[in-house]
A and B are shown apart, each in its own frame.
Chain A
Amino acid sequence: MSEQTLKPEQFAKLKKSEHAGELVVRESISAWKDAWIRLKENKLAMLSLVVLLVITLLAITAQYMTPYDYKTNDLANTNLPPNSEHWFGTDSLGRDMFQRTWMGAGISLQVGLYAALVDLALGVIIGGIMGYYGGRVDEVLNRFCEVMYSIPSMLLVILLIVVMEPSMFTIVLALSITGWINMAWIVRGQVMQLKNQEYVLAARTIGASTSRIMFKHLIPNAMGPIIVTLTMTVPSAIFAEAFLSFLGLGVQSPAASLGTLINDALKAMTVYPWRMLFPAVLISLTMLCFNIFGDGLRDALDPKMKK
């Protein structure tokens, strides 16, 4: 119980001038800008971001940088080491490895990106429904997720790719079959927590529709964990695609991903190690940078979580 008694004379009306003391004078910043400022202070995360941007840029522009392309065979010049003509050397069919490596990086990044986008769409919708409605709906959907999650996902992926043609579409589809579950659980947890916040209740007292509450109030406030989960999905999809390439289920020649390039190089690794070097370094660097950047992003978006 409060020890304070309020007397009627304390309830005098404030003059306009007295309100001035309460004004906060500061430049207006949103929570996003705030996070960006914190992210910029994290040098390692920013370095990772720059590396990722450079890799992406090269994946797009490398094809214009040398006169070769990724698919023309040149049987007179097979397995060349790096030289001034073929910067990363050539493969067993004499194809330019510089072009193939960057095209592979592009494909790998696309696999990661598309898998993340499908996860985002499915995870947000299904997780949002579970979290918001709760009760029976949540129970049924959650059980379904648990069952899906308990099936070894690689088995499912391999089955699907064997049945369908291996292509980027099939790979993304296969990875997304179980990939969205994690996102759905993250969104579900967030929505469950947020839906009882007073600002959500306030939106309901105003008569806001469920979809308005979902997309204006719940999802924007769950964006931190969602983005962090996405930055973790990208490298794991890239890695999963590389793994499938090892099984011969990756994108099919003459197209290439970093995974198929490494797989090809593996056959002659001891004789022509440089064929392995560039794709392997690139895939490691990409995954490392995504992980560091994701960590930095989490800290920046949610400073309370920082240890």
Chain B
Amino acid sequence: MSKPLIEVNHLSKFFNLGNNQILKAVNDLNFSIAQGETVGVVGESGCGKSTAGRTMMRLYEPTNGEVLFNGKNIYQMKGAELKQLRRDMQMIFQDPYASLNPRMTVMDIIGEALDVHKLAGSRKERKKKVEQLLELVNLNSAYASRYPHEFSGGQRQRIGIARALAVDPKFIIADEPISALDVSIQAQVVNLLQELQRDMGLTYLFIAHDLSMVKHISDRVAVMYLGKIVELARSEDLYNDPRHPYTRALMSAIPIPDPEVEEKRERIVLGGDLPSPIHLPSGCPFHTRCPMATEKCKVDVPKFLEVKDKHFASCHYA
């Protein structure tokens, strides 16, 4: 593997809710992303995926840990260096209806990125660049003067992608970019993202709550549970040989196209609700819902270990 573009070391983000309540949304994340790689992140809603992404974007200051971009800690960047980081790293958001300012035209939404970084010398150049960006994401450039509410969800998401691309980023965090879209549109947007990655050499962190989509586009996949990564492996390894019981449960929720196999296989249904990230369970955080849990699991925290070549999991019995 080539040298990592992104290194995440012991990254934590806790929210102080007052009354001595600390919500541990992201709890000691460790992983890296190589140049040109796509790492998928999956996990139930509320497990801390967005918080992890936003902290990595430095939209939130971390409680602990560091994120290295090309070897430099992003949380220590200031001035010109931080400004450059704001070009190098971009984010695509989940809700295509909330991620575009309803009072701005598409021209201004995308043009803002050019304005902030002074990437267009004149109004004419700005217009030309915005139109090029719209065409890059397969949108008709004639619609630049329109407002977001005049577009469909899929079109809006492409406008968001064009905005992110305007500053010429190297690394993009996509936070469930397709989960709010119709299934027919989902494929188009994923397709576009993959195409852009090929053409522009982008590196992705692709967040999703659904394993079936992530494994299709990711080189490696991280499975998150209660603010921690519980399993990390190459997509095919994770899919063919999931080691963590939680991953297996996620996997069994994906229907298998072959009805005979579907019939015979065992479904693992998770009991109970996701525990509150304010009061984390002792021992293995998954023990309250794990079908394999033993007494040991309630006491001992499992280590995140390499169980096979480049395949990590945190379970005593992985």
Q: Which residue among A23, A26, A206, A223 has the maximum number of chain B CB atoms within 10 Å of its CB? A: A206
B219 at the interface (CB under 8 A from A): no
Q: Are B210 and A2 in contact (CB under 8 A)?
A: yes
Q: Which residues of A contact B155 (CB under 8 A)?
A: 22, 24
Q: Are A11 and B103 in contact (CB under 8 A)?
A: no
The smallest C-beta distance from A166 to any residue of chain B, in angstroms, reads 42
Q: State A79–B9 Cα separation when bound (angstroms).
A: 88
B213 at the interface (CB under 8 A from A): yes
Q: Which residues of B contact A210 (CB under 8 A)?
A: none
Q: Are A221 and B102 in contact (CB under 8 A)?
A: yes
Q: Are A220 and B103 in contact (CB under 8 A)?
A: yes
A84 at the interface (CB under 8 A from B): no
Q: State A10–B94 Cα separation when bound (angstroms).
A: 22
Total number of B residues with any Cβ neighbor in A under 8 Å: 60
Q: Are A11 and B102 in contact (CB under 8 A)?
A: no
Q: Are A206 and B93 in contact (CB under 8 A)?
A: no
Q: Which residues of B contact A208 (CB under 8 A)?
A: 112, 116
Known: A1-B209, A1-B250, A6-B187. A204 touches B98 (CB 8 A): no
Q: Are A11 and B190 in contact (CB under 8 A)?
A: yes
The smallest C-beta distance from A14 to any residue of chain B, in angstroms, reads 6
Interface residues of B in 245-265 (CB under 8 A from A): 250, 253-257
The smallest C-beta distance from B285 to any residue of chain A, in angstroms, reads 20
Q: State A208–B187 Cα separation when bound (angstroms).
A: 32
Q: Which residues of A contact B254 (CB under 8 A)?
A: 1, 5
The smallest C-beta distance from A20 to any residue of chain B, in angstroms, reads 9
Contact with B along A1-33 (1 / 0, CB 8 A): 111111110111110100100111010111100
Contact with B along A81-94 (1 / 0, CB 8 A): 00000000000000
The contact of B112 among A11, A26, A29, A206, by CB within 8 Å, is: A206
Q: Are B186 and A6 in contact (CB under 8 A)?
A: yes
State which of B20-28, B141-149, B293-301, B307-315 sits at the interface with chain A: B141-149
The contact of B116 among A23, A24, A197, A212, by CB within 8 Å, is: A212
Q: State A31–B160 Cα separation when bound (angstroms).
A: 20
The contact of A205 among B90, B188, B194, B195, by CB within 8 Å, is: B90
Q: State A8–B216 Cα separation when bound (angstroms).
A: 7
Known: A205-B90, A206-B86, A207-B86. A5 touches B101 (CB 8 A): no
Q: Which residue among A23, A198, A205, A220 has the maximum number of chain B CB atoms within 10 Å of its CB? A: A205
A203 at the interface (CB under 8 A from B): yes
B63 at the interface (CB under 8 A from A): no
- Can you name 10 extra interface pairs (CB under 8 A) apart from A5-B257, A197-B98, A205-B164? A1-B254, A2-B212, A6-B183, A12-B191, A16-B138, A24-B152, A202-B160, A205-B90, A205-B91, A221-B101
User: Which 4 A-B pairs give the minimum distances between C-beta atoms?
Assistant: A207-B86, A198-B99, A198-B93, A1-B253
- Interface residues of chain B, those whose CB is within 8 Å of chain A, are 54, 57, 59, 82-83, 86-87, 89-91, 93-95, 98-105, 112-113, 116-117, 138, 140, 143, 145-147, 149-152, 154-155, 160, 163-164, 167, 183, 186-188, 190-191, 194-195, 209-210, 212-213, 216, 250, 253-257
A–B Cβ pairs within 8 angstroms, 5 of them? A6-B186, A19-B140, A28-B146, A206-B117, A207-B86
- Interface residues of chain A, those whose CB is within 8 Å of chain B, are 1-8, 10-14, 16, 19, 22-24, 26, 28-31, 197-199, 201-209, 212, 216-217, 220-221, 223
